[in-house]
Amino acid sequence: MFGLSELAIILIVVIAVLAVRKGPELTRTAGRSARILKAEARAAREPRPEPQIVQGEVLRPGNTGGTEQGPGTR
């Protein structure tokens, strides 16, 4: 019926057709993943500031509004 060379040619054509259809989507996804990985690696390298103790309360970095309140408190 089919020899090994004919099956190889058919397989190459099928792969080429699928690559044309799914190629842009796969490269876009790979680019997004690479950007996320790069941002996470950069964030892991940057030193984080230590929490500061002010009048017995802990102020976490980025919290500019005084004291922290739990849910349900005013």
CA separation for the pair 61, 64 (Å, rounded): 8
Q: pLDDT value at position 57?
A: 64
Structure tokens at 71: 């849910």
pTM (2 decimals)?
A: 0.44
If one compares 55 and 41, the residue with the highest pLDDT of the two is: 41
Model confidence pLDDT, tens digit, residues 4-50: 899 999 999 999 998 888 888 989 999 999 999 999 999 888 877 77
**C-alpha distances in Å from residue 31, one per residue of 19, 35, 37, 47:** 17, 6, 10, 26
CA dihedral 5, 10, 11, 17 (to 10 degrees): 150
